[in-house]
Amino acid sequence: MFKNIKKNKDKKFHDINRKRRGFKRIRGMKDILFDEYRYWDLVVNKAGNLAKTYSFKQISTPLLENLELYKRSSGKSSDIVNKEMYSFIDKNGEKLAIRPEATPGMARAYIEHGMFNLPQPIKMFWLGPLLRHEKPQSGRLRQHTQFDLEIFGEASPVADFMLILIAFNFFRELQINVHIQINSIGCRECRKEYISRLLEFYRERGKRSKLCPDCKKRIIKNPLRLLDCKEEKCIELRAEAPQIVDFLCDECRNHFIKVLEYLDELDIPYNLNSFLVRGLDYYTKTVFEILPAEDDSSRQSSLGGGGRFDELVENLGGRPTPACGFGIGLERVILKIKEKNIPLKRDEENYVFIAQLGDQSRRKAIGLFEELRRGGINVRQSFTKDSLKAQLEEANRLGAKFTLILGQKEMIDGTILIRDMESGIQEVIDYKKIKNEIEKKLNGITNH
C-alpha cells in the first residue's frame, strides 16, 4: 500500500519534471527561423525561375508512398532502403514509407496519370522534404529539402546535358563555384560483362579479406557499389579495379561521348570519375555529382547529383520510357552561401510606413493603409502600438523610406506629415493629395 503511494508520487514527480522541461525537436530535425528565410527565399526562387525558364512544370507528390515502390526503384540493397528509410505498418496493416527520395514518386505519378499519352518528353520540377534516418553525429539532417528536375520520355544525350547545365547555372547564379563529376555506368547489357570482371578482380586472393564489412556484403548483393565505398582500405583496393568505361557497348559509349562534347562546348568544368556509381539501383548510362570547387578532400560532400534511369519506369510497371533527372540538397546550398558570406541582394522595395497618434487617427490610418495598398504602394504599419517613438523605430527596422504620420492636429487640418526616414525632414501635405505625393517621391528614388 505504502509502496504504491510512493510509486505514484514518483510518477507524478516525473510528469511535473517533464512538463517543466518542455519539448525539444527530434534529433536531426531543424526549425527554420525568420532570418534564415532570406536565404530560403533566394534559393527557392532561383530554383523555380530556372526550372520554368527551361520549360519544366511543377509537380508535388505525397510524403507517404507504398514501401514496395522504393524497394523496386531505389533497390533493396541500397543504403536508402536498407538503413535510412522511415517505414512502418499503418492502422490498416499497409506497409508504408516516408519519402526518402523524390524520383520514385515522380515515376509512379508519370505512370499512374498516363503521362506517356501526352507529347513527350514530360519535364517535371519538384521541391519538397525528404526524410532519412541518417547518423546525426556526421552533422547530417534527417529531414532535408530537395530541388529536383526530371525528364521522362527522352533518350537523347541532349537531355542529360541540359540537366547538368541547369544544375551548373543554379550554382553559378548563386555565386557558388562547383565542378561536375561524371561517369557512365552503362546499360543492363554492357554492365553484365563489367560486373563479372569486377567480381573476378575482387575475388583474387587476399583482396576480399581486406574489404570493410559492408563491402563484403556488397560483393554478393550489389558489386557495383564496391566502387563508391568511403572506407580507406576499400578506396586503396579499387585503384587497380577494371573501369566501366572500358566495357561500354557502342550505344552507351556514343551516348556518353555526346554528353561530354556538349559540356566541352559550353565550358562546363567536369572530371571523369570512373568510380562514381551513385548507390541507387535504377541508374543507367550517365551519372553525375556536383561538388564544391574549392573542396578537394576525398570526403567532400556533394551538393547534388543525378543521372539517367532508362529502366525505372518499366521496372515500376510502366511502358519502357527513357528518363533522367537530378536533385540538389537545399540545406547544403544555404550552408555554402553562409560559409562563403555571399552577400544577399538587399530587399529593394521602397516601403512606406503609416504611423498614427490617438484612436481617431488610428481608424483613419487603417483606412489609408488599405487604400494605398490597393493602389499598389508597398505599405507597412504597426497599428497595435500607441507611441509614435515605437512606431518610428519599427519603421526604421523595416528600412522604410518614408513614414506618413497622422496625429490629432493633422486630422483637424485635413493634412498629413510625410517624413523622409533618412534625412528626418518632415513636410506637411494635403491629405487628399497623399497618393500623388508619395508616388512622386518614390519615383524620385528609383530614377536615381
- Classify 18 in phi/psi space as left (phi over 0), alpha (psi -120 to 50) or beta: alpha
Which residue in the set 59, 149, 174, 234 belongs to the binding site for Zn ion (CB under 5 A)? 234
Classify strands 415-420 and 86-89 as parallel, antiparallel or unpaired: unpaired
The residue range among 154-162, 188-196, 290-298, 353-361 that interacts with Zn ion, by the rule CB under 5 A, is 188-196
CB 199 → Zn ion: shortest distance, Å?
A: 15
CB 214 → Zn ion: shortest distance, Å?
A: 5
Q: Using the minimum distance from each CB to Zn ion, give the nearer residue, 191 or 380.
A: 191
* Cα separation, 322 vs 312, whole angstroms: 8
Chain residues 250-289 in contact with Zn ion, contact rule CB under 5 A: 252
Is residue 237 part of the contact set for Zn ion (CB under 5 A)? no
* Cα separation, 150 vs 251, whole angstroms: 22
Which residue in the set 41, 68, 112, 231 belongs to the binding site for Zn ion (CB under 5 A)? 231
- Classify 318 in phi/psi space as left (phi over 0), alpha (psi -120 to 50) or beta: beta
Q: Using the minimum distance from each CB to Zn ion, give the nearer residue, 207 or 385.
A: 207
The residue range among 32-40, 228-236, 303-311, 415-423 that interacts with Zn ion, by the rule CB under 5 A, is 228-236
Which residue in the set 50, 97, 130, 187 belongs to the binding site for Zn ion (CB under 5 A)? 187
Instruction: Say whether the peptide bond before residue 121 is cis (omega within 30 degrees of 0).
Output: yes
* Cα separation, 121 vs 440, whole angstroms: 50
Lateral strand order in the sheet of 64-66: 64-66, 95-98, 86-89
Is residue 224 part of the contact set for Zn ion (CB under 5 A)? no
**Phi, psi angles (nearest 5°) of residue 362:** -60, -45
Other beta carbons within 10 Å of 164 = 24
Which residue in the set 163, 190, 227, 277 belongs to the binding site for Zn ion (CB under 5 A)? 190
Is residue 249 part of the contact set for Zn ion (CB under 5 A)? yes
Site string for Zn ion, 325-344 (x = CB under 5 A): --------------------
Does 283 appear as a known binding residue?
A: yes
138 Cβ neighbours under 8 A, 6+ residues apart: none
* 3-state secondary structure (DSSP) of residue 82: helix
Cell numbers given for 291: 561538388
Q: Using the minimum distance from each CB to Zn ion, give the nearer residue, 234 or 244.
A: 234
Size of the residue set binding Zn ion (CB under 5 A): 10
Is residue 215 part of the contact set for Zn ion (CB under 5 A)? yes
Numbered residues of the known binding site for L-histidine: 101-103, 132, 146, 150, 278, 282-283
Residues that bind Zn ion (CB under 5 A): 186-187, 190, 212, 215, 229, 231, 234, 249, 252
